[in-house]
Structure 1
Amino acid sequence: MTKLPVIDLLIIFTYLIGMVVIGVYFSRKNKNAEQFTKASGKIPGWAIGLSIYATFLSSNTFLGVPGKAFGSNWNSFVFSLSMPLAAWVSARYFVPFYRNSGEVSAYTHLEHRFGSWARTYAVICFLLTQLARMGSIFFGIALSLQALTGYSMASIMIVVGICIIIYTVLGGMEAVIWTEVVQGVIKTIGALIILALVIKGMPGGISRIIEIGQADNKFSLGSFVPDFTQSTFWVVLLYGFFMNLNNFGMDQNYVQRYHTTTSVSEATRSIWLCVYLYLPVSLIFFVIGSCLYAYYQTNPDLLNEVRMQVAAERLPNGSTTAISQLAASLSPSDIGDKIMPHFMVTKIPAGLVGLIVAAIMSAAMSTISSGMNASATVFSVDIYQRYIKPELTSKQSLKILYIATTMFGLLGMFTGVAMIGVKSVLDIWWMLSGIFAGGMLGLFLLGIVSHKAGNAEAAIATVIGLLVICWMTFSKQIPDEYAALRSPFHQNMIMVIGTLSIFLVGILLSKFRKNKSSNTEQTV
């Protein structure tokens, strides 16, 4: 399909205009930096909860999760199962800490504990994580819209990116939050519509889907063997806990929202509302992936269409024979990200396609706009005011936020363009986020938990942790003759081991210093 029906185009156009109008509406309130970053602290907890939920439910969820379930099983759903524990820790310890500190930046505390280097390191990690996140989201939305419109992925990213930049720059955090409330509702409706259409089009209905899924082990949560070299249940559970703890506990996207509520209890309530919503809805996307697997297994001609499409993209100048041979060799995991767009193109009726596209766009826009606003806030507070110009007027601060928001929106677009051609959008996001977030979380936990760890211990622990993360990330590049030096762990363990390396080394060094000091005093 190279041209959407007029009704679908109208729905998409109306949605985009509506988002821009919201930005224009809230632009009247943005008179200072506090309003732009904190929305003056008057947003109700339920709206923040829906906003955080919408940020979690990105286009990676819309496309990556069904694609992952189609290509493998429900192993990745364990990530969602880890959310309640991470939410409890964050609600119990982190939210009161941030609210009592009054600092809009999540990373100011690190400078108080360990010095300016710690704050700068965390800021750099956060900004790199945001670029990876925004890039993967841009990539995900372009992947689906390319199948629907025929336009190039780069062109789609630019058009959507401009719309996001407009309403985020104009409206600030308050516009981001209220658009995400709307987007969260649209996303949920879109997911339910897709699920209903897949089940309706499946010969034999739900019973046949379950039969095929059970036969091909599509409902498995992964092996329960304590093996950390593969994506077992325990690997994803550990990765999910640490990543969700990073999200709820120290990601500027979420920390900034805690300051927009009226109280600690409202901020805590927003976290739990997100968990209550995200758990069942994320399960729906895994169910969609399994349903699509059963549907395409019973429609081999459609499955072959997808295989040929992927093969043609990988061999743009290949002969028909070569493309056919490659298509025949492709596994379900090779074509997972293309399944949802193909189903939308071929099986969703006019009118509903526009709504589904709007849902996917809303999934992308909520996460990207949130990342832009948070990145701009961190840049303004932790970089510009810290190192360039400490004393800023209210008008100057607001101007810097406008410029930084635009800058990070453009950088996110360029990152998305650079990702064109990756095999799995979900895999690439998990890998990059694990690399950048692991060291940041380890340092932050060390500062919060250990009151005895000092600047030197934190610096040494961070260097050791970074070496561990780099080794685990790039050890596959080690030549075969030195294969014994490669990391045996699954890539999702980078986040876990990187975090624990910094945290535990810092604890041990602080204890060693204490014991050494005690022995010295006794000797004297």
Structure 2
Amino acid sequence: MQQIDWVVLIATLLFIVIYGSYKTRGSKNVKDFIKGGSESNWWTIGLSVMATQASAITFLSTPGQAFNDGMGFVQFYFGLPLAMVIICVVFIPIYHKLNVYTAYEFLEQRFDLKTRSLAAILFLIQRGLAAGITIFAPAIVLSAVLGWDLIPLNISIGLLVIIYTVSGGTKAVSVTQKQQMAIIFSGMFVAFYLILDYLPENISFTKALEIAGASGKMDVLDFSFDLNNRYTIWTGLLGGTFLMLSYFGTDQSQVQRYLSGKSVKESQLGLIFNGLLKIPMQFFILLVGVFVFVFYQFNTSPLNFNPKATEVVMQSQNKDAYADLQFQHEQIEGRKKVLLEQELSQENILQLKELNAQDLALKSKAKQLISSTDETLETNDKDYVFIHFILQNLPRGLIGLLLAVILSAAMSSTASELNALASTTTIDLYKRNQTQELAQGHYVKATKWFTFLWGVLAISVACVANLFDNLIQLVNIIGSIFYGNVLGIFLLAFFVKKVKGNAVFYAALITQVVIIGVWFANVLPYLWLNLLGCLLVMSLAVTIQYLNKKTD
């Protein structure tokens, strides 16, 4: 990185922190701090909801996911529009009618305190872990690529978020997320334009799509019923719908975004806006990854994109074996480049697929060598693909902008999570268990302290976290283990009036144990855990209530 990149990066991040702190200073009551004074317009809500979901993981992992596996991951989001409609019709009117600060307050009114507390605690566990991952995600990649020390990087990202989130609460999160989304969209569009510009003159946009398609990267829809395939149209529409219902309907980090709306209509429009824009946005980010793949068909790429892993193995006794794999990889790249300069006939497409298969086999052998050299090294390099492209190919100044995109996304997501964690802790656990009513200012101070403490915990999780296949999958796996259960509790509250608190409470406890067991046993793809958890807690609660035949 050059001096101009540091200037752009630091200036962008400081602007967000100072702007957010200044615009939202002086919140003196709980409504202002937790619900942002209920003043948000629909487009502020929509961007805030989108920014909360679009963490740094989205912009690091999603292009790498497409680089390796193509566009199929977009099916994961196919259930989103349907989920948004259901939440707008069912969830939002109830939340606004009851004038709740958190989603879990409703559960006490419908069931009892222990059910409310259980749902809140399940949220705190999974979102507390996820907050650490959203800090860790950009830190681990930037640390490996730029040579920055990981622990100070985790602490720096976490502290920047804590400063303005503690200062301004929900309003600070919403205000800063608008700036962050502007930076994010600008950076991604610039990156996409430059990728197209860097392709050979005779490779048009259409030709690039043909090359990607010939390599299997443009297979968007998969109608198979193979449970071993994580991303199909069915997992997106069924598992994805339940995951999105859980996330946007019961996760306080999202519920808090639209509870800040001026009215029911503003909140509903904000979610519909998100539902309409989210799939095109994810499609575009995946397309960026696909075009990075096309770019590397004409330009030299490393055998493994994790520079730290390559450095370690090349200083070990396995260096000769790794160098031989690198040489074979370069030969295959040369043959692909010659092939792609010709017309893409059926015969050439088959040859291209064969060369890609050979290259994939070489990369698999490279990962085995890396692992045998040092088991602690991360062999999966999906999350390093896009950042490698940025650092090696973008002009000076734009590198700082794209790094600002990644860190802005990390800050926006983490801020929402810390804000929601603190609000839930204050309202559902601390305030609810107070024997006497205290002043509004006391609860504002308590929320600020809980924000700080959750921030410290998130930084701690980030400092001890480890990579898992692909970061964007890791966050979704954590959510899927808990979300289905919590969604089932809410659906029982909304639609099954005969079921009482005790039945729901014990059904939820049993369900959570079962879901964790199913995940460890690797019986189902993680998206299906959302559907299983939801159906299981509902059926168990109805059964327990029927067997008990007593009112709570």
Matched, 1:425 2:425: no
Aligned partner (choices 94, 98, 102) of residue 101 of structure 1: 98
Number of the residue aligned with 1:265: 265
Deviation at 1:85, TM superposition (A): 0.1
The amino acid of 2:419's aligned partner reads N
Shift of 1:101: 0.6
Aligned to 1:493: 528
In the alignment, the residues of structure 2 paired with residue 313 and residue 168 of structure 1 have an alpha-carbon distance, to the nearest angstrom, of 39
| Contact 1:71/1:334, CA 8 A, preserved across alignment | no
Shift of 1:254: 2.2
Mapped contact 1:76–1:236 kept (Cα < 8 A): no
Of 86-95 and 47-56, deviating more is 47-56
C-alpha displacement of 1:313: 5.9
For 2:81 and 2:443, how far apart are their aligned partners in 1?
37
Alignment partner, residue 223 of structure 1: 222
Mean Cα displacement is larger for which, 93-102 or 32-41?
A: 32-41
1:249-264 superposed matches below 5 A: 249-264=249-264
**Segment drifting more, 453-462 vs 54-63:** 453-462
Distance 1:506 1:471, change over 3 A: same
SS of the counterpart of 2:290?
helix
Tell me the secondary structure at the aligned position of residue 306 of structure 1.
Answer: coil
Q: What is the CA–CA distance in structure 2 between the aligned matches of 1:410 and 1:280, rounded to whole Å?
A: 35
| Match in the other structure for 1:180 | 177
Q: What's the CA shift string for 1:94-118, capped at 9, x where partnerless?
A: 0001000111011012122232221
8 Å CA contact 1:308–1:323 kept in 2: the answer is: no
1:30 aligns with 2:27: yes
Is there any run of 5+ residues in structure 1 with no aligned partner, and where?
477-486, 518-524
Cα deviation digits, residues 32-86 of structure 1 (max 9, x gap): 2221111211122221111112112211110111111111122221122211100
Distance between the aligned counterparts of 1:165 and 1:318, measured in 2?
A: 45
Amino acid at match of 1:62: F
CA distance in 1, matches of 2:400, 2:547: 62
Q: How many correspondences in the alignment?
A: 501
Q: Does 1:201 align with 2:234?
A: no
Q: 1:294 maps to what in 2?
A: 294
String of CA shifts for 1:253-274, please: whole Å, max 9, x gaps: 2222233221110110110112
Tell me the equivalent position of 2:210: 211
Q: Does 1:382 align with 2:428?
A: yes
Match of residue 44 from structure 1: 41
The 2-side partners of 1:315 and 1:418 are apart by 26
* 1:396 and 2:442 correspond: yes
Residue aligned with 1:303, SS = coil
Per-residue deviation, 1:372 = 0.6
| Distance in 1 between residues matched to 2:116 and 2:169, nearest whole Å | 24
The letter of the residue matching 2:156 is: V
Q: Check the 8 A contact 1:453/1:510 in 2, yes or no.
A: yes
CA contact (8 A) 1:75 1:236 kept: no
Counterpart amino acid of residue 341 in structure 1: I
Listed one character per residue, the Cα deviations across residues 348-375 of structure 1 (whole Å, up to 9, x for unaligned) are 1011111111111111111100111111
Evaluate the alpha carbon distance shift between residue 308 and residue 182 of structure 1 in structure 2; reply closer, same or farther with a 3 A threshold: closer
Question: Which residue number corresponds to residue 455 of structure 2?
Answer: 409
% same residue: 29
| 1:135 paired residue number | 132
Q: How many angstroms apart in 2 are the aligned matches of 1:316 and 1:280? A: 44
Q: Summarize the Cα distance change of 1:256–1:249 in structure 2 as closer, same or farther, 3 Å threshold.
A: same
Q: Flag the 1:65–1:390 CA change in 2: closer, same or farther, 3 A.
A: farther
Which residue number corresponds to residue 482 of structure 1?
none
Shift of 1:16: 1.9
Q: Distance in 2 between matches of 1:269 and 1:391?
A: 36
TM-score (norm 1): 0.89
Task: Measure, in 2, the Cα distance between the counterparts of 1:494 and 1:317.
Answer: 42
2:120 to 123, 140, 144: 123
List gaps (5 residues or longer) in structure 2: 330-361, 368-378
Q: Distance in 1 between matches of 2:167 and 2:306?
A: 43
